[in-house]
Amino acid sequence: MGFGRLLLGGPPPSQAAEVPPPIAGLTLFLLLRAFSSGCAALTGVEAISNGVPAFRPPESKNAATTMAWMAAVLGTLFLGITMLSHLYGLLPREGETLVSQLARQVLGAGPLYYLVQAATMLILILWFRTVHGHYGAAGDQLSLARYHRPLVPKHITAIVPISHVNRAVIPVLDYARSFGSDIRAVFVDLEPEETTQMKAQWGVWGGGVPLEILPSPYRSFLVPCLAYIGKIREKDPDGWVTVLLPEVIPARWWQTLLHNQRALIIRAALLFTPGVIVTAVPYHLEREGEVTIWLGSGSLRLRFKTRRPHT
C-alpha cells in the first residue's frame, strides 16, 4: 500500500522532522546495541527450529522450507520498511516506533492503523509464548520426576581421528587409555604415500593403539569418519562413542585461526548426534623463541629463551 500510494499519488508533502544529533563515534556500546536489535528482529526463527518434530514427514525438509519462506518474508519486510521510511522522510523519535509512523503515514489514523498495531502486539505475544513453551518442554525433558531408568555402566569406544603424528597426538592417546581398552585411531587415506608413512610412524609412536585406515575415494576427510562412527553406533546403540580431538592452543590468540580447522568441522558435524561425545584435548604451544628440552622420561624439563641477533 505504501508503494502504491507513492506510485499513484506521488510522494507525500515533506514534513519537518527533528534530525537527531550526529553520533560522535562508533563505540562498542553502539555495536552491541545494533547486534542486539538484529537478534531481536529474528527471535521468531527459534519457533521453527524448536518445533521440527511437529512438522509432517519429512520433518527436516518441511522445516527447512518453512525457514526459507520466513527468511524471504523477513527480508522483504526489512527492505520495504527501510525504503518506505526513506521515501516518506521518517526518522526515529522518542514515543513512537518507526513502524507506527509508517503505518500512520500510509493508512492514516483510522481502523487500519490500529489493526497493524494489534497485529504487531499479537506477534510479540506469540514470541513470548514460543519462548515460554520452549522452556517448559526443555524442563519436562530434563526433569527426574518421571525418570525411572537405572544407572548402569555403558561400554565406551574412544576414537582418535588423526591426520599427522606429532606431539599433540601423544597426550590424546594417554587420555584415551583412561576410558578402557577399546581405543581406535582412525586415519583417512587421501594419498597412498602419506598412508604408508603414517603406518610406519604409528608403529613407533602409536603405543599399541590400533590404527584404522579409512578409504576415501572422493578425497573427503569428514564423510569416512562420520560413516565409521555411524557403524559403531549401529553395532552398539546403547554404548557411548567419545571422539577425542587434538587441539593446538597457540601462544597468541590470533594464531588460533591458523589451527584446528578439521577439529572444528568434526565437532560441528557430531554436535547433534546422540550417543556421541566430542572432547578436545589441548596441546599448548610456546611463544616463538622459547625452546623446551626434555630429559629422560620427561619428568625434567629445561627451558630457555633464545634471542634473535641484532641486524
Burial of 307 (0-12, 13-18, 19+ CB in 10 A): exposed
Query: Is the CB of residue 278 less than 8 Å from the CB of residue 295?
Result: no
Nearest to 262 by CA among 278, 251, 275, 284: 278
Pairing mode of beta strands 300-305, 290-295: antiparallel
pLDDT at 149: 79
pLDDT in tens, the chain (311 residues): 667 666 666 555 545 455 566 655 667 887 887 787 777 666 666 667 766 777 788 878 888 888 888 888 888 888 888 888 888 888 877 788 888 888 888 888 888 889 988 988 887 788 788 778 878 888 888 888 877 777 888 899 999 999 889 899 999 999 999 888 899 999 999 888 999 999 999 999 998 999 999 998 888 889 999 999 999 999 999 999 999 999 888 888 777 778 778 888 898 889 888 999 999 999 888 766 555 555 555 444 445 454 444 43
pLDDT at 279: 93
Grid coordinates representing 294 are 626434555
pLDDT at 171: 92
The edge-to-edge listing of strands for the beta sheet with 183-189 is 211-215, 183-189, 156-161, 240-249, 276-284
For the chain, what are the domain ranges?
2-13+25-142, 156-304
Looking at residue 234, the DSSP 8-state letter turns out to be H
pLDDT at 14: 47
pLDDT at 48: 73
pLDDT at 17: 55
Nearest to 274 by CA among 302, 234, 221: 234
Helix or strand run (H / E) with residue 139: helix 111-142
| pTM, 2 dp | 0.60
Query: Is the CB of residue 281 less than 8 Å from the CB of residue 247?
Result: yes
Q: What is the DSSP string of 45-114?
A: GHHHHHTGGGSPSSHHHHHHHHHHHHHHHHHHHHHHHHHHHHHTT---BTTB-HHHHHHHHHHTTSHHHH
Query: Using CA atoms, how far apart are residues 172 and 206, in angstroms rounded to an integer?
Result: 11
Q: Which CATH architecture has domain 156-304?
A: 3-Layer(aba) Sandwich (3.40)
